[in-house]
Structure formats: structure tokens, C-alpha cells
């Protein structure tokens, strides 16, 4: 049986992808090209600066800006994004998230966050779930992005637990790959065809048979 649950944030506990999309789209509009929701799929689980590079590639302006211009664009995007997430509330947790966190807590299972987002603390706070987490690893604490396993290994290390007693819940292919390379059970949340490297896939957190694992 497993002793620890490590959650990705965006796409697993909350749907912040829509706010990332709106904020990136406004930047693309300013630069004069169209950025679609389909393009936005490529940004899931990807760090802020890498997301900007992908966006500029979509607009065919990849090499047109200096590092400091790009930093400025990312800062502007983040200001728009944080304006959206500062208005979030507990009703925006995804189906089954709160119930699962509650049950795990009751069972004495350790809970960690493993997110690429530097805004993770604000999102946990606004949605009222900060207190469920024994450790929070986010974009402020990692040096290597998923699919590197660093983010999940730091979570287990912070709890003093071996990697093979940890389960990772992830909606991105890169995140599932990271979980596998850390030697953890990789549970995909979403559509099976996008998450082929998962050990098992559920369409939502609600569907997880918790007694099977803990």
C-alpha cells in the first residue's frame, strides 16, 4: 500500500489552464497573431518562460526579442493571470478534489503538491486547500522542469519517504513521465489516449478507487 499522494495542481485539482489561456491570448493579440485553445494544449505543465517560447514560435516571432523583452512579456502575462486567479474560490476545485483530500487526510496519508507553477501558493489559498498539504513543491523550488523527476522527488524527500510508496496524480504526459522516472506510481487524470505512459488513467479524481491504493 502507498503512504503518500503527490498532486499536480493545474488540470488535476483546479482548472487554471483557462486563465493561462486568456492571459497568453491577450499577449498574442497584442503581438498581432491568433493563439487558439489547441495551441494552448502545448503549454500544459510547461514552465512560464518555456510557454512564452512556444507562444512566440506559434506567432513565428521566436528570435525577434531580447531576453529582457521576453522577461517583460512574461511579467505582463503573469500580472493578467494573477488578476484572474486572485478571484478564484473553493467552488472552482475540480470534481472529487476536496473529497479525495479529505479522505486521504482522515486515513493519515501524507499529501504533497508537485506543480510547475510559481503561483501555486495563491491558488491553494484562494481555493481553501492549503492546510491539506504536508509539503508544497512548486515552480519556486524546482530547478528542472517536468519530465525531470525533481519536483516529485523533492516532495517525497520533504516527507522523508521512499519514492516507491508515493502515487502521483497528473494530467500531463511530461508529469507522468517524471513520476515514472522517480519510481512512483503514475496515475493519469484525463483522457487515456493522451496519457499513454501512465500506469492507470481515470477520467476524473471522482473515479479513483481509493481503497485499492491506500
Binding positions for ligand G16, rule: CB under 6 A? 8-11, 20, 43-48, 51, 78, 115-119, 139
Q: Which is nearer to Mg ion, 10 or 138 (CB)?
A: 10
Catalytic-residue membership of 63? no
Residue with smaller CB distance to ligand G16, 25 or 44: 44
Instruction: Tell me the closest approach of the beta carbon of residue 53 to Mg ion, in angstroms.
Output: 19
Vertex 146, ends 104 and 80: CA angle to 5°? 85
Scanning 47-172, the segments in alpha helix (DSSP H) are 48-58, 67-85, 97-106, 120-126, 150-158
For position 138 contacting Mg ion by CB under 5 A, the verdict is no
CA-CA-CA-CA dihedral for 163, 104, 173, 27, to nearest 10: -120
CA distance 139 to 154: 12
* Site residues (CB under 5 A) for Mg ion, limited to 28-47: 45
CB of 147 to Mg ion, least distance (A): 12
Q: Is 177 in the site for Mg ion (CB under 5 A)?
A: no
Binding residues with Mg ion: total (CB under 5 A): 6
Minimum Å distance from CB 156 to Mg ion? 18
150 part of the interface to Mg ion, by CB under 5 A: no
Q: Residue 115: which of Mg ion, ligand G16, none does it interact with, CB under 5 to 8 A by kind?
A: ligand G16
CB nearer ligand G16, residue 45 or residue 149: 45
Beta strands in the chain (DSSP E): 4-7, 110-114, 135-137, 166-170, 185-189, 200-202
Q: Cis peptide leading into 158, omega within 30 of 0? A: no
Q: Cβ of residue 24: shortest distance to ligand G16, in angstroms?
A: 9
Biggest distance spanned by C-alpha atoms of the chain: 53
Task: Tell me the CA distances in angstroms from 36 to 48, 53, 201, one per residue in order.
Answer: 17, 15, 27
In the set 8, 138, 150, 177, which binds Mg ion (CB under 5 A)?
8
The residues carrying an active-site annotation are 8, 10
Amino acid at each position: 500500500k502507498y503512504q503518500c499522494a503527490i498532486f499536480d495542481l493545474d488540470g488535476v485539482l483546479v482548472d487554471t489552464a483557462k486563465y493561462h489561456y486568456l492571459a497568453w491570448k491577450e499577449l498574442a493579440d497584442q503581438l498581432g497573431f491568433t493563439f487558439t485553445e489547441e495551441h494552448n494544449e502545448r503549454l500544459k505543465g510547461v514552465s512560464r518562460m518555456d510557454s512564452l517560447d512556444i507562444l512566440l514560435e506559434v506567432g513565428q516571432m521566436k528570435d525577434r526579442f531580447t531576453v529582457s523583452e521576453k522577461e517583460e512579456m512574461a511579467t505582463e502575462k503573469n500580472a493578467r493571470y494573477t488578476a484572474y486567479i486572485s478571484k478564484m474560490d473553493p467552488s472552482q476545485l475540480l470534481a472529487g478534489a476536496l473529497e479525495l483530500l479529505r479522505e486521504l487526510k482522515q486515513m493519515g496519508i501524507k499529501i504533497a503538491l508537485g506543480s510547475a507553477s510559481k503561483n501555486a501558493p495563491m491558488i491553494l489559498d484562494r481555493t481553501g486547500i492549503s492546510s491539506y498539504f504536508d509539503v508544497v513543491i512548486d515552480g519556486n523550488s524546482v530547478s528542472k522542469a517536468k519530465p525531470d523527476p525533481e519536483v516529485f522527488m523533492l516532495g517525497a524527500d520533504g516527507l522523508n519517504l521512499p519514492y516507491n510508496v508515493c502515487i502521483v496524480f497528473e494530467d500531463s504526459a511530461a508529469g507522468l513521465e517524471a513520476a515514472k522516472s522517480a519510481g512512483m506510481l503514475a496515475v493519469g487524470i484525463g483522457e487515456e489516449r493522451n496519457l499513454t505512459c501512465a500506469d492507470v488513467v481515470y477520467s476524473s479524481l471522482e473515479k479513483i478507487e481509493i481503497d485499492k491504493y491506500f
